[in-house]
Amino acid sequence: MSSSSHLADNLALLAHETSLLISTASALDDQTIRVASLCQGWTRAHVLSHVARNADALGNLVGWAVTGIPRAMYDSPDSRDADIVAGASRGAREILTDLKDSAARFASAASGLAGAPEQSEVEMRGGRVVRGAQLPTLRLMEVVFHHVDLDAGYTFADADPGFVKRAITIAVERFRAGGQAPSITLRGDEGERWSLGDGAQDVIGTNSALLLWLARGQQSGVSSAAPLPALPSWG
């Protein structure tokens, strides 16, 4: 399969997952959108405002990949945080409109990544360098993970199984790169295995439960013969 084929598949999956997120957000009103999310210190309104601003931020990187003209994701760390706080103060309908419009802007821009822009290198917030082809996957992770963070009925078990496996692999790779992960072997429900360090401790669960533990530290559905170790953040 060509690189462009992977890009098309990722964009199609992103469109599907975005539609599910919008459906969930559409059911929130001015009261339920103020409920606490799984992201510490953030309500659902903060999460959805962040997802909208992330679409524009990654859209800036798409523009960089397509045109070759460097552009930062955000004007500054302070402006990023301020935009999320300000956005969270809006009503549910306004937040929903912003979520839809920003997602549409990203989808339109990302369609121009096919070909040479897929191999272009761009720099994310924090200095991490990625290729243009990776941007739809990074957006997909934001959409799926923060959909789960809304704690409004959607879980990783509702996400595409192939995406869940990819996300676990990405988490494991980031743990390895950080050098602070415990020595564990993750054993999924379809016979998959992911090892960190010497892999001494088996951690067992469905793939969706393993991903929730890796991403948010929640232990429901995950088991081990010994107490589960603390995990570092993987971003």
Q: Which residue has the tokens 């999956």?
A: 13
**pLDDT for the residue 235:** 57
Single-letter residue type at 19: S
Beta strands in 71-192 (DSSP E): 121-123, 129-131, 184-187
195-223 pLDDT, tens digit each? 999 999 999 999 999 999 999 999 999 99
pLDDT, position 195: 94
Q: What is the pLDDT of residue 178?
A: 80
Average pLDDT along the chain: 94
Average pLDDT over residues 147-156: 98
Indicate the pLDDT class of residue 5, thresholds 50, 70 and 90. low
User: Which 8-state DSSP code applies to residue 41?
Assistant: T
Work out the average pLDDT over 16-30.
98
What whole-number distance in Å separates Cα of residue 207 and Cα of residue 169? 11
> In this predicted model, which residue has the larger pLDDT, 144 or 2?
144
Q: Which positions ≥6 away from 52 have C-beta within 8 Å?
A: 87, 95, 98, 99, 101, 102, 103
Lowest-confidence region among 158-162, 163-167, 174-178: 174-178
